[in-house]
Amino acid sequence: MTTLMRFPSTLVVLLILGLVGVPAAQAQQQGQQTQRQMQQMKQMQDHMQQMTQLMQRTHQLSRQMQQRMQQAQNDQQRQQMQQMQRMGEHLQAMAGQMKNAMEQSQTMMQNQEMMRTREMERDMERLREHLSDMTNQMEDAVQLMERMTNRVQARVSMKENN
């Protein structure tokens, strides 16, 4: 006790620093959380743009198949084109629903009350990761459909030329 009495100013300074340090640490933590949320929202925005592009590409595929269906020379070709056209429509609808889910997820991320706890923040990050994976899978599916469409069109063109 006598040692503490000899250094009262040191004790007061340590107490003040301890009290000031807590808010500073909280502010730093909040800043990091805000930065993470901004990065997540940017990634979500990028995925929503990608979904919009996928919707446009699938719409284009469906239009191409619709046009080719009208030009088909027999029922078998028409049926193949119709199946491809319907698949394109379904992929377009899926991309639209996924974009809507991403928009809702972004709205939830912006809700400070919802994102208050670390557990909720972790769950939202996992949801964002799942949506990102789904975006990549959708991209793969659309690329497959584009290849399949090109093959069907090439086969039909070959038959038309023979």
What's the pLDDT band for 4 if we cut at 50, 70, 90? Answer: very low
Question: How far is residue 65's CA from residue 54's CA, in Å, rounded to a whole number?
Answer: 16
**Tell me, what amino acid is at 111?**
N
**Collapsed DSSP state (helix, strand, coil) of residue 84:** helix
The number of folded domains in the chain is 1
140, part of any domain? yes
Top-confidence range, 9-13, 27-31, 75-79: 75-79
8, part of any domain? no
Contacts of 125 (CB under 8 A, 6+ apart): 36, 40
82, part of any domain? no
Question: How far is residue 98's CA from residue 138's CA, in Å, rounded to a whole number?
Answer: 9
13, part of any domain? no
What tokens does 131 get? Answer: 């949506």
- Domain with 130, as residue range(s), is 118-162
129, part of any domain? yes
87, part of any domain? no
What's the mean pLDDT in 125-138? 94
Whether the per-residue pLDDT at 16 is higher than 50: the answer is yes
pLDDT digits (tens, 9 = 90+) for 61-119: 999 888 888 888 889 888 988 999 999 999 999 999 999 999 999 999 888 888 888 89
**Lowest model confidence (mean pLDDT) among 30-44, 66-80, 136-150:** 30-44
- pTM of this structure: 0.74
138, part of any domain? yes
Question: How far is residue 67's CA from residue 90's CA, in Å, rounded to a whole number?
Answer: 18
State the pLDDT at residue 13: 55
**Lowest model confidence (mean pLDDT) among 70-74, 84-88, 142-146, 154-158:** 154-158
158, part of any domain? yes
